[in-house]
Amino acid sequence: MAVAAGLGPRLDRERFQWSSLVMLSPALVLLGVLFVFPVLYACYLGFTNLALVGSRSRAYDFTGLDNITRMLGDYVFIKSSWLTIIFVVGSAIIGQTVLGMALAILLRNALVSVSAVIGSIVIVAWVLPEITVALVWYAFSQAGGTLSILLRQTDTNFLVAVPMLIVSLANLWRNVAFSMLVFSAGLRNLPTEVLEAAEVEGASVWRRYRLVIFPLLKPTIVTNLLLVTILNLSEFTLIYAMTQGGPGIETMTLPLYVYQEAFVFHQLGYGTAISLVLVLIGAVFSLLFVRASRSQV
């Protein structure tokens, strides 16, 4: 600093070039019209009594915090929020991450031929259309389906007995390939010599994973958690195709509840308000992960 004193303004400072606005304007307009405006408008609609049909679809009013108060007293909404959190934490955060990591580790240590076959099978499940996965798991869990035969309870319809579990498992089965691929890439990029050093230094396999591999994979794990959470929070097709939120409201996660309120009961305003809560939940999770990733490395 002292050296630069008296030399006037720096010549290499960053400058804004107004001409760049012209070049950027098409992109800015598109973003504004298709993204910024709808998001802000949705925020506004969440505080109105807009309906899908009828008089309120044209002449709707700003209702202040009415939708929020209604939500707080809405038993279905509260249950639905819990189901969403259970679904995301159980199926995505724990199930998909743990199983994806386990698969990635096993495939890394397997013979090339074995890992190629297993890896392909796992990825096929991911490539299948969601509606197909839903039908497969629907059939699988019915009374007299494969699952009931395997468990020797042919009279039990597991989709009715433990609906949330079956839906979560189906989702896990479908999405685990994503985490597996992310972790496989992460494992491949670890510095080989560091792992070898730990081995030569006498660390057991468990110790190497716990103290070296997992800490080094932390950025990959956080990225995976972030993506998996966001993707699963808005999961609709699979659950809707399997149970339509039932039996009762046992699998009515927030996306399904939004759909029901907005398009079945025509309460667009209220539905939008719920979807804002969904966004909020996603933001909270994301914030937690980002903070966790900053704490070290």
Partner 1 sequence: MLSEVRFEGVHKIFGAETAVEDLNLTVNAGEFLVLVGPSGCGKTTTLRMLAGLERPSYGRILIGDRLVNNVSPRFRDVAMVFQSYALYPHMNVYDNLAFGMRARGAAGSVVAERVKETADVLGLGHLLKRRPSELSGGQRQRVALGRALIRQPQVFLMDEPLSNLDAGLRVQMRAELSRLHERFRVTTLYVTHDQVEAMTMGDRIAVMNLGRLQQVDAPETLYDNPANIFVAGFIGSPRMNFVPGRLTTTQGKTAIEFLGVKTPISAGSQLTGETTGGEVTVGLRPEDLMWGRVASPDSTLTVSAEVDVVEPMGHEAYVTAVCAGETVTSRFPPRSGVRTRERVELALNPARLHLFDARSGRTILQRPVAGGADVRRTVREARKEEPAEGRSDLQRQTGARGAPSRAEEIS
- 201 near partner 1, judged by CB under 8 A: yes
Report the alpha-carbon distance of residue 15 to residue 34 in Å, rounded. Answer: 29
Torsion of CA 114, 119, 122, 128, to 10 degrees: -120
- 203 near partner 1, judged by CB under 8 A: yes
Tell me which of 53, 155, 200, 294 binds partner 1, using CB under 8 A: 200
Tell me which of 191, 210, 280, 291 binds partner 1, using CB under 8 A: 191
**Cβ proximity to partner 1, 61 vs 196, nearer residue:** 196
Tell me which of 2, 11, 202, 294 binds partner 1, using CB under 8 A: 202
CA–CA–CA angle 131, 225, 175 (5° rounding):
20
Tell me which of 38, 144, 215, 247 binds partner 1, using CB under 8 A: 215
- 216 near partner 1, judged by CB under 8 A: yes
Report the alpha-carbon distance of residue 205 to residue 113 in Å, rounded. Answer: 23
30-69 residues in contact with partner 1 (CB under 8 A) are none
Nearest alpha carbon to residue 221 among 174, 229, 208, 283: 229
Tell me which of 127, 197, 280, 292 binds partner 1, using CB under 8 A: 197
**Angle formed by the axes of helices 163-188 and 75-86, nearest 10°:** 40
User: How far, in Å, are 109, 198, 200, 212 from residue 204 at the CA level?
Assistant: 15, 9, 10, 11
Nearest alpha carbon to residue 172 among 118, 97, 96, 237: 96
- 296 near partner 1, judged by CB under 8 A: yes
Give the shortest CB-218-to-partner 1 separation in angstroms: 8
- 194 near partner 1, judged by CB under 8 A: yes
Tell me which of 25, 57, 204, 237 binds partner 1, using CB under 8 A: 204
**Cβ proximity to partner 1, 144 vs 215, nearer residue:** 215
Nearest alpha carbon to residue 70 among 259, 251, 256, 261: 261
DSSP-assigned letters across all residues of 234-269: T--HHHHHHHTT-STTTT--HHHHHHIIIIIS--HH
Nearest alpha carbon to residue 250 among 144, 156, 159: 159
- Sequence-distant (6+) residues with CB within 8 A of 109 are none
> Do the Cβ atoms of 251 and 83 come closer than 8 Å?
yes
User: Could you count the other beta carbons within 10 Å of the beta carbon of residue 248?
Assistant: 12
- 187 near partner 1, judged by CB under 8 A: no
127-186 residues in contact with partner 1 (CB under 8 A) are none
Tell me which of 196, 263, 290, 292 binds partner 1, using CB under 8 A: 196
Give the shortest CB-98-to-partner 1 separation in angstroms: 21
**Cβ proximity to partner 1, 30 vs 207, nearer residue:** 207
> By CB under 8 A, how many residues form the interface with partner 1?
20
Give the shortest CB-210-to-partner 1 separation in angstroms: 11
- 98 near partner 1, judged by CB under 8 A: no
In the beta sheet, which residues pair with residue 48? 62
Give the shortest CB-219-to-partner 1 separation in angstroms: 11
Tell me which of 34, 37, 72, 199 binds partner 1, using CB under 8 A: 199
**Cβ proximity to partner 1, 144 vs 219, nearer residue:** 219
Please give the residue ranges that form the binding site for partner 1 (CB under 8 A): 191, 193-194, 196-204, 207, 211-212, 215-216, 218, 296-297
